[in-house]
A and B are shown apart, each in its own frame.
Chain A
Amino acid sequence: MGRFIAIRLMHALIVLFIVIVLVFLVTRLIPGDAFLVAVAASGVEVDSAKTVKVLEEFYGLNKPFYEQFLIWLVNFVSGDWGESIGTGGDVLEMFLDRCPITLQLFFWATLWQFLIGIPAGVISALKRNSRTDMAITTGALIGFAIPPFWQAIVMIYLFAVLLPIFPPSGYVSFAEDPMGNVMSMALPSMVLGTSGAALLARYVRSSLLEVMSQDFVRTARAKGLGERAVVTLHAMKPAMIPVVTVVGLIWAGLLGGSFILEFVFALPGLGRMTVDAIYQRDFPVIQAMLIIVSLNVLFMNFIVDVLYAYLDPRVRLR
Chain B
Amino acid sequence: MTAAAQAPPLLQVRDLAVEFGGDGGVVKAVNGVSFDLHRGEIVALVGESGCGKSVTALALLRLVADPPGRITAGSIHFDGEDLLQIPLPLLRDIRGDRIAMIFQEAMNSLNPVHRIGRQIAEPLSLHRAMPMRDALAKAVDLLRSVRIPEALRRSRDYPHQFSGGMQQRAMIAMGMGCEPDIIIADEPTTALDVTIQAQLLELLQQQVVEKQTSILLITHNLGIVARYADRVNVMYAGRIVEQAKAEDIYDRPRHPYTLGLLQSVPRIDQAIGDKLTPIEGQPPDPINPPPGCPFRPRCRFAVTRCDEDIPPLRRLTDSQSIACWVDVDD
User: C-beta contact mask, B58-98 vs A, less than 8 Å → 1, else 0?
Assistant: 10010101000000000000000000000001001111110
A225 interface residue (CB < 8 Å to B):
yes
B126 interface residue (CB < 8 Å to A):
yes
Verify B63–A218 contact, CB threshold 8 A.
yes
User: C-beta contact mask, B151-191 vs A, less than 8 Å → 1, else 0?
Assistant: 00000001011000000000000100000000000000000
Verify B123–A220 contact, CB threshold 8 A.
no
Verify B111–A224 contact, CB threshold 8 A.
no
Interface residues of B (CB under 8 A from A): 58, 61, 63, 65, 89, 92-97, 100-101, 103, 105, 108-114, 122-123, 126-127, 158, 160-161, 174
Verify A219–B110 contact, CB threshold 8 A.
yes
A311 interface residue (CB < 8 Å to B):
yes
Verify B160–A314 contact, CB threshold 8 A.
yes
Which B residues are CB-close (under 8 A) to A214? 108
Contact A224:B109 (CB < 8 A) given known A213-B65, A219-B103, A317-B161: no
Verify B103–A223 contact, CB threshold 8 A.
no
Verify B113–A224 contact, CB threshold 8 A.
no
User: C-beta contact mask, A219-257 vs B, less than 8 Å → 1, else 0?
Assistant: 111111110000000100110000000000000000000
Verify B112–A223 contact, CB threshold 8 A.
no
A215 interface residue (CB < 8 Å to B):
yes
Q: Closest residue to B95 on the A side, CB-wise?
A: A224
Which A residues are CB-close (under 8 A) to B58? 218
Verify A218–B96 contact, CB threshold 8 A.
no
> Which bucket holds chain A's interface residue count?
20 to 34
Task: Specify which of A225, A234, A311, A312 is in contact with B92 (CB 8 Å cutoff).
Answer: A225
Docked pose: A190 CA to B92 CA in angstroms = 42
Q: Nearest chain B CB to A129's CB is how many angstroms away?
A: 9
Interface residues of A (CB under 8 A from B): 213-216, 218-226, 234, 237-238, 311-314, 317
Docked pose: A312 CA to B160 CA in angstroms = 11
Verify A224–B158 contact, CB threshold 8 A.
no
Which 10 pairs of residues, A with B, have the shortest CB-CB distance? A223-B96, A224-B96, A224-B95, A215-B108, A313-B158, A216-B111, A222-B101, A215-B109, A224-B92, A223-B123
Which A residues are CB-close (under 8 A) to B127? 224
Docked pose: A213 CA to B69 CA in angstroms = 13
Q: Nearest chain B CB to A174's CB is how many angstroms away?
A: 39
Q: Nearest chain A CB to B138's CB is how many angstroms away?
A: 15
Docked pose: A123 CA to B262 CA in angstroms = 51
Which A residues are CB-close (under 8 A) to B96? 222-225
Residue of B63, B96, B110, B161 with most partner-chain A CB within 10 A = B96
Contact A237:B161 (CB < 8 A) given known A224-B93, A225-B92: no
